[in-house]
Structure 1
Amino acid sequence: MTQKRPQSRWIVLSLLLLTVATLVLIWDWDWFRPLVERQASAALGRPVTLQRFNLDLGRYPLVSADGIVVANPEGFPADSRMAAVGRLAIRIDPLRLWQREINLQEIRIDGIEADLRPDAAGKPNWQLDRSKDEDSGPSRWTLEIAQLQIGNGRVHVLEPRLKADFDLRIRTEPAADGEPRLHLDAEGQYNDAPIVAHFIGGSLLGLRQPERPYPVQFDAVNGNTRIDLKGSLLQPMQFGGAKLDLRLRGDSLAALYGLSGVPLPPTAAYELKGRLDYEQGRVRFRDFSGTVGHSDLSGQLAVDLRRERRLVTAQLHSKKVVLADLGGFVGATPGKDEAASETPQQEAEREQAQAHERVLPDQPINLPKLRAADLDIEYKADRIESELPFDSLSAHLVSREGELQLKPLRFTVGDGQIAGNIELDGHSDVVHFVGDMDFRRIDLKRLVRDNPALNGTGLIGGSVRLDSYGNSTAQILGSGDGELKLYMNRGQLSALLVNLAGLEFGKALLSAIGLPSETNVRCAIADFGMKEGLLDTRLLLVDTGEANILGDGSINLRDETLDYRIHTKPKRFGIASLRAPITIGGSFRDPRLRPDWERLAVRGGAAVALGALIGPLAALLPTVELGLGDDNDCKALVDEIKAEAANLPAEMEKEKKAEKGAKKAAASKSKNP
């Protein structure tokens, strides 16, 4: 009797084990599906449903789920879904769970379908509420994944703020080393332009292995912008330890704004290549070089992502720059110079601008770009190719929260220079502009270098001050207050007029004045006040060997019209010298000359005007010497005018007698033909 009891116990235990084994083998694991759905829904903060849940036992049990659907959060239609997965299979090592380690031997995901987009308020549906996880503190569990495979998946991305609407296909493919490589292909719209992109990276598991370089190969075509990136990362999740070669090509640097968030102006076509890395929260484009149009460009650029407003710093250098390639910096259409590289679109924009009746650039200042980021950019160009006479350029641009300063901006012209400061305040809807520029000892020879027939001997100096409001160059000039002063010492009158008014109009004006083209200038002084875009003459005097030329009137920068008069006072009086004043009217694009016969009868006007210039001339002498140097003839001109003023009564009487004599001779001739 006592021997049968142990046997019966073993029989009972065996039956229990057999029963449990039978239950395990025939158990429908789908019974746990509601529990899994509740746990997944709580973790993601939105409803999650499964069509089937199963567990296959073994040394490494296989947990699988089919027909997974993740619904959209609140704010989307109730029947819409964010993502679906055809099948998710996970093979786990159960023994490691005793050590608080989740060891996943294999993860296989097939049939991914996702639709990522923001709701009406702009909140993206892929943004999860992780506040509960953060409140629970750090987890005591560790996660380790041995292998991850993804079948063909498709993700649709819609983001209006980025002007993006594209499809992303994702998969893993085996590589030569046996590890599956991650492949991403994108096609659709991004930054309001077509995009086609391809990415090949290491295995997804390599993202968590900092001791192994993670290979990266990426290329994209977005509109006319092409990006090629190749290299490796030691810490891909932090973009650390980067050894990446970056190559950028496109029609204009401005197109990179939507891709990088870095506000850049319109330029000519470009191609740049350099090294890309990341250090202490800063993405850096290092040691890059290339071309912008027909200009070379090299240097360093960094974007600091740690600040609430990103900070862009750069040190840029050009050995040679074609100024028109960078025309977008001043609101002009890039590619205006014949030497510059133009795309068909830029050529069409330039031709349209030239056909427009206005001359001053009216391209709007991009206020969102002005406010988009803070900038600290230094630029130096050793040699400038342009219709303008500049030799070299250096500038330091600083922008903080929509306030931009260009201090200093400096051009060299021969042995002289043009230097100044510019400030733009873009806080309000209309930009506030404050600027000043000084011209010192500008060699006239540099201004007439394209016309060897002109005598370019002489120096030019002066200054410009402007305080204005407007959202384009034309608006700023057309509404500003300030002043313009220009001085010239020696040189040729034809060279001066051609550079101020253009070749054809300059020749016509010279002919109307009645002076030979070889007339030498001893001293020229121009002083204009500016009020609400209207340049009004304080003083205009050109002293030549033949005559003194005076000007009065106004130049309207708002509507680009001219209302000006030129008076000539010959130094040697004669009947032939009795010329009518010249009136200059019309527009900047179509100026017109005509003699003012009504003013011819008013004799002595030029002489009286000369006398009235003594005070203004004497006041301007210190600034004339600053712009031209001590060795100038304008001081001698002031002394001569003082002497002439003393003889004004006699001069006027002489002119009256000459005029009476001319009338008497004409009357006698008519009586005795």
Structure 2
Amino acid sequence: MTTQTNVAVSRRHPILRTLGIILAAFVFLIVLLIIFWRWDWFVPTINRRMTAALHRPATISHLHVRLGFVTTVTVDDLDIKQPEGFEKEKEDFASAKHITVSANVWRYITGHGIALPLIAVDTPRGDIVSRLDGQNNYSFSSGKDKSSSSSSGDLSSLPKIGEVRINDGDVRLALAKMKTDMRVLMHTTPPKGDDEGSIVIDLKGRYAQAPINGHIVGGSLLTLTNETRPYPIDGRLANGPTYVTLRGVVNDPLHFKGTNLDLHFAGPDMALLYALTAIPIPHTPAYNVIGKLNYTAARIRFDNFEGRMGSSDIGGNIAVDPRAKPINVDARLHSHRVDLADLGGFIGAKPGKDESKANTASNQILPDQKINVPKLNAVNAHLTYHGDHIENKKMPLDNIDTDIVIQDGAIDVKHLNFAVGNGTLAMAATLNPAKNEEFATKLRVDVSRLSIQRLMQSTGTFKGEGTLGGHITLTSTGNSVANLVANGDGGITLVVDHGGDVSALLPDLMGLKVGSAILSALGIPQRSDLQCFIADMPLRQGIIRTNSMLLQTSNTRTIGGGTINMRNDTLDYHVDTRSTGLNVLSFPGRVNISGPIKSPAIMPGAEIIGRAAATAALAVVFPPAVLLPTIQFGVGKGSVCEQALAEVNTRPASGIKPGATTGKGAPQVRAAPAPAATHHGKAKKGHVTNTSDAAKVHQAWERKLNKEH
């Protein structure tokens, strides 16, 4: 029995010894593996998979892993090359000396989600390029992959991050469509005590073709995901001559729950803000405004802003819905004191003092700045603006009130009203897109009881009463104020009732340096009282012709005829003046006015030349007879004003009867005019008076208007 047992033990001994050797070898191999283990063995595999996933060569040089409940992974010398088609770029698409990520493995295993206590990036570099043809180097997925991208913004799916460190970051942005090539330099500052640290961003280069220089300090990147802690921002940005500062906090920025930010804009022209805001704004003079930037119902709002624009103050509220396509803008603006010259950009003129300089150097009398159709199509907007008091050297008005809607590239000027004493200058217009980036336009201007004395207040030379009334209409296709008129059809019907001192009125109201010379050539004596002025002039294809043009003073009667060419801003006009009674020492007759509208040539007609020649001859032959050619016996004073007004009311060139737009009788209406033409009833023959007294002419006019109503 004992012998058998010994035999069995001796047989098992080699097996145990063999197992011991194997176990020892295994332990030895593990020790060797631990001693000689290199995580770099996985680098080729990682490089292959990154290259396949990013569709461009991508490599790392070393991989370091420190295992534990919190495992730390570090990669060295990350380098991602440019994709196919961008190989000629001077820089790689992305690189970094080191990237370190710590992950709480135990938290993940126990089902509490992903936690990353640390993300650190050392010396990151980037080169983001987008070309004019739409190609870019930052699209990683193919068309098939795009459908799988998630649009979820749920913060619960994001990992919990403890700290983010960025050291010496430098990213180039070259975006051809935005005409931008700039560098974004960034780094983070470490937490100190209660300070959680910050991210610092500097911008250098060119943005929208203009130099850009910015410095922005934000709170810790972790605060961006903190729903309860406001995220601080303090930044300044200079884009060309435009200067912007932003200071305050954003509440839960990933969900846009609100802000408390002071926003300051300053620059030479608000039109330059388009590059920063994507909102098209007409040209303006220099401005400086500050207000509150807020989020309200997913809208970005610039609330209670105030400041200066040229010589005017400006304030109000602007709301932008960036989610709408195109973006939607609602602007409610106001001014307490406004200079009309500052608003020139809104009608295509150069704003402020530049406009007067431009007018001096050019014969162009209407603004020719074209409407920027791409910018107009980039926004749907509703603009209301009210100016409490208007200051303008040429024509001081009382206030301005306007309501404009831009929708799908169409412009609807619901009203643009100016108050002048008890009168109004009211405009309504629609501009609908047509071919060749032009606009099919309908315009109506209603002039109602504008006080001539109020209009002439700035000159200090006019005394008297009287009102201006009538209508202007235009139907045209074009892309600027100038070519709309040059291509247009419509008419002008204007009436001045008992306008005071004509020698002070017309030179200033016409805005012509040669105004006084015209009056002198017409033979109108100084300080003549204007009894009436009627202009009824149709516009056909940019040419203004004359149905009726009458200017009657207490001494003379002037009839006009001819054309005004708005295609080239010239005129070919003549006026005939006759004395209404016996007049000595006068050469009235026909005067020809031609050439540029701004500076026309004034030439006397044959009758005036003949009278002057006869006077010269008689002065030589028989000096006492020198007065004979200057004597006029008059054409009679009569009721020409009422007759001309009756004709204008029958067939007005503007298509709208002047009706009761002058005088003091009816109460003033300040509502915006309707686009469609309306009138006050059929015209009746005026009452005939045989007196030349201005007051009686005025009374006859009032009786006529009362009959029409």
TM-score (norm 2): 0.81
Check conservation: 2:256, 2:298, Cα contact below 8 A. no
Partner residue in 2 for 1:26? 36
1:148-159 paired onto structure 2 within 5 Å? 148-159=164-175
User: In structure 2, which of residues 118, 123, 131 is the aligned counterpart of residue 111 of structure 1?
Assistant: 123
Q: 1:407 aligns with which of 414, 437, 444?
A: 414
SS of equivalent to 2:657: helix
SS in structure 2 of the partner of residue 358 of structure 1: coil
Residue 54 (1) aligns with residue 67 (2)? no
- Please give the alpha-carbon distance, in whole angstroms, between the structure 2 residues aligned to 1:120 and 1:541: 61
Per-residue CA deviations over 1:116-162 (Å, capped at 9, x if unaligned) read 01146313322443864863878997622211111101111111211
Partner residue in 1 for 2:374: 368
- What's 1:462 paired with? 470
Contact 2:579 2:634 in 1 (8 A): no
Cα distance change on mapping 1:175 and 1:93 into 2, 3 Å? closer
The 1:458–1:605 alpha-carbon spacing in structure 2 relative to 1, beyond 3 Å, is: closer
Residue 580 of structure 1 contacts residue 600 of structure 1 at CA under 8 Å; is this kept in 2?
no
Give the total of aligned pairs. 631
Q: Does structure 2 conserve the Cα–Cα contact (< 8 Å) formed by 1:113 and 1:154?
A: yes
> What whole-Å deviation, never above 9, does each CA across 1:457-490 have from its counterpart, x for those lacking one?
1111011101122222222222211100110111
Which amino acid in structure 1 is aligned with residue 538 of structure 2? G
Aligned residue number for residue 96 of structure 1: 107
**Structure 1 residue 357 and structure 2 residue 363: aligned?**
yes
Which has the larger displacement, 142-151 or 485-494?
142-151
CA distance 1:600–1:298, shift in 2 (3 Å): same
Q: How does 1:145-294 map to 2 (within 5 A)?
A: 145-176=161-192, 177-294=194-311
Which of 536, 542, 550 does residue 545 from structure 2 map onto? 536
Deviation for aligned residue 1:503: 6.2
Equivalent of residue 515 in structure 1, options 507, 510, 524: 524
CA contact (8 A) 2:99 2:119 kept: yes
The 3-state SS of whatever aligns with 2:367 is coil
Which whole-Å CA distance do the structure 2 matches of 1:605 and 1:44 have between them? 97
Letter in 1 for 2:383: I
- Bigger CA drift: 66-75 or 376-385? 66-75
State the TM-score, normalizing by the size of structure 1. 0.85
SS at match of 1:166: strand
1:474 matched to which residue of 2? Answer: 482
Distance 1:217 1:22, change over 3 A: farther
Task: Confirm whether residue 452 of structure 1 aligns to residue 469 of structure 2.
Answer: no
2:388 pairs with 379, 382, 387, which one? 382
Q: Structure 1 residues 589 and 503, CA, compared in 2 at 3 Å: closer, same or farther?
A: closer
The alignment status of 1:135 with 2:143, answered yes or no, reads: no
Partner of 2:496, secondary structure, is: strand
Residue 669 of structure 1 is matched in structure 2 by: none
CA spacing shift, 1:300–1:578, aligned 2, 3 Å = closer
Deviation of 1:626 (Å): 2.3
- Which amino acid is the alignment partner of residue 152 of structure 1? D
Q: Is the 8 A contact 2:474 2:489 kept in 1?
A: yes
* 2:441–2:476 contact (8 Å) kept in structure 1: yes
- Asked whether the 8 Å contact 2:425–2:447 carries over to 1, the reply is yes
Pick one of 80, 87, 92 that aligns with 1:81: 92
How far apart are the structure 1 equivalents of 2:416 and 2:469? 17
Distance 1:437 1:461, change over 3 A: same
Whole-Å separation in 2 of the counterparts to 1:636 and 1:317: 44
CA-atom RMSD, angstroms?
A: 3.4
Partner Cα separation in structure 1 for residue 149 and residue 535 of structure 2? 77
Identity of aligned residues (%): 32
Q: Does 1:295 align with 2:308?
A: no
Amino acid at match of 2:104: D
CA distance in 2 between counterparts of 1:58 and 1:405 reads 69
Judged with a 3 Å threshold, the aligned counterparts in structure 2 of structure 1 residues 562 and 442 are, in CA distance, closer, same or farther, namely same
Is the aligned partner of 1:628 residue 2:639? no
Counterpart AA for 1:465 = T
Partner amino acid, structure 2, of 1:170: M
| Residue 144 of structure 1, aligned match among 160, 166, 177 | 160
One-letter code of the match for 2:137?
N
Bigger drift between 209-218 and 32-41 goes to 32-41
2:447 paired residue among 433, 439, 448: 439
After superposition, give the CA deviation of every residue in 1:329-354 in whole Å (9 maximum; x if it has no partner): 11111113xxxxxxxxxx5x763553
- What is the CA distance between 1:570 and its match in structure 2? 2.1
Question: Which residue of 2 is the match for residue 70 of structure 1?
Answer: 80
Find the counterpart in structure 1 of residue 6 from structure 2: none
Q: 1:619 aligns with which of 644, 650, 665?
A: 650
Q: Which amino acid aligns with 1:66?
A: D
- Is it true that 1:546 corresponds to 2:555 in the alignment? yes
C-alpha deviations, 1:176-199, integer Å up to 9, x for none?
435331111110111111110111
Structure 2 spans left out of the alignment, 5+ residues: 1-8, 612-631, 667-682, 693-709
What amino acid maps onto 2:77 in structure 1? G
Q: 1:154 to 1:535 in 2, by over 3 A?
A: same
Change (3 A) 1:66 1:133: farther
Instruction: After TM superposition, list the pairs within 5 Å mapping 1:585-624 onto structure 2.
Output: 585-597=594-606, 616-617=647-648, 619=650, 623-624=657-658
Closer, same or farther: CA 597–631 of 1 in aligned 2, 3 Å: farther
- In 2, distance between residues paired with 1:582 and 1:255? 49
